[in-house]
Structure 1
Amino acid sequence: MTPAIWLALIAVAIGGAAIAVQAPINSRLATHVADPVVAAAISFGVGFVALSIVAVMRGAVPNAVAGMGDVPWWAWTGGALGAIYVWASIWSVSTLGVVTLVAALIFGQLTAALALDALGAFGMTVREISWTRIAAVGFVGVGLVLSRL
């Protein structure tokens, strides 16, 4: 594998670890504010501030603002989809535990990813669904079931 692939894999692994840590942290926040939706909103607010600071420091804001007029309608839905994830994680982590939560998250991601790849959705390259890719999703599904035994 190329260095670029290794770097991307490391970045995604760190992001995955952040997701695992984020769920119980946000769940604790929800117990203090007495509402998972409020906790999700606070979490997004903190994330918005952090990313805004980084964007300003990088000087990326003028270019970003200039390109906003050409954005397709569906490209604006990412934050709402992220909100669904954050709320669902906050709401369910105390019931499921972190391992089952993350296994279910990954199973859902992989199931949707198979369809998105097959359709070439949102401008992505079409990638056919192979038996090995289906088996990979199936193994995660088995892991999800095993996490609850």
Structure 2
Amino acid sequence: MWFLYALTALAGLANAIQPGQNATLAKSLGVPVTAALVTLLVSTAVLLAGGLATGKLVWPSAEQAAAVPWWAWAGGVLSVLLILAQLYASPAIGAASFLGIIVTVGVCASIALDHYGLIGFPQHSASLWRVLGAVLMIAGVGLVAIF
């Protein structure tokens, strides 16, 4: 279990670093959409190499693909949205404001997803403490953005 927490911490670090990398790539190439495509192609290549190296890359059967809910296929679209936000918004508003907004909106949305048990998450009620935590995060990101 500790490995999952360490992986999550590394993902959080990557989440802070990646917008600057992608924005620099976009600035260097001069075309943000091209930079987004390069980012996704590099991601695809890394996943392909890792999947092949570990033997964890398996093509789903037609039955498995047909059993996937329609909304689960949209994850790639959301990845593009995140990358485009990194390319356009992060250089303009700064790393702290960008990441603060991303994380805070994510936590607020996650509370709602948990509360209603949507998109595959188990139901976990939105208690007063969880909502208060989200409100404090909103206040915190407001302070980061203002100062």
TM-score of the alignment, normalized to the shorter chain, above 0.5: yes
Q: What does 1:1-149 correspond to in 2, within 5 Å?
A: 4=1, 6-62=2-58, 64-66=59-61, 67-148=64-145, 149=147
Please give the alpha-carbon distance, in whole angstroms, between the structure 2 residues aligned to 1:17 and 1:97.
16
Secondary structure of 1:128 counterpart: coil
Q: For residues 97-122 of structure 1, what are the alpha-carbon distances to aligned partners after superposition, in whole Å with 9 as ceiling and x for unaligned? A: 11111100001101110111011012
TM-score under structure 1 length normalisation: 0.90
Secondary structure of 1:122 counterpart: coil
Q: In structure 2, what residue type is equivalent to 1:94?
A: P
TM-score under structure 2 length normalisation: 0.91
The CA deviation at 1:92 is 1.1
Number of equivalent positions: 144
Please give the alpha-carbon distance, in whole angstroms, between the structure 2 residues aligned to 1:58 and 1:68.
22
Percent of matched pairs sharing the same residue: 26
Q: Tell me how large the CA RMSD over aligned residues is.
A: 1.3
Secondary structure of 1:147 counterpart: helix
Structure 1 unaligned blocks of 5 or more: none
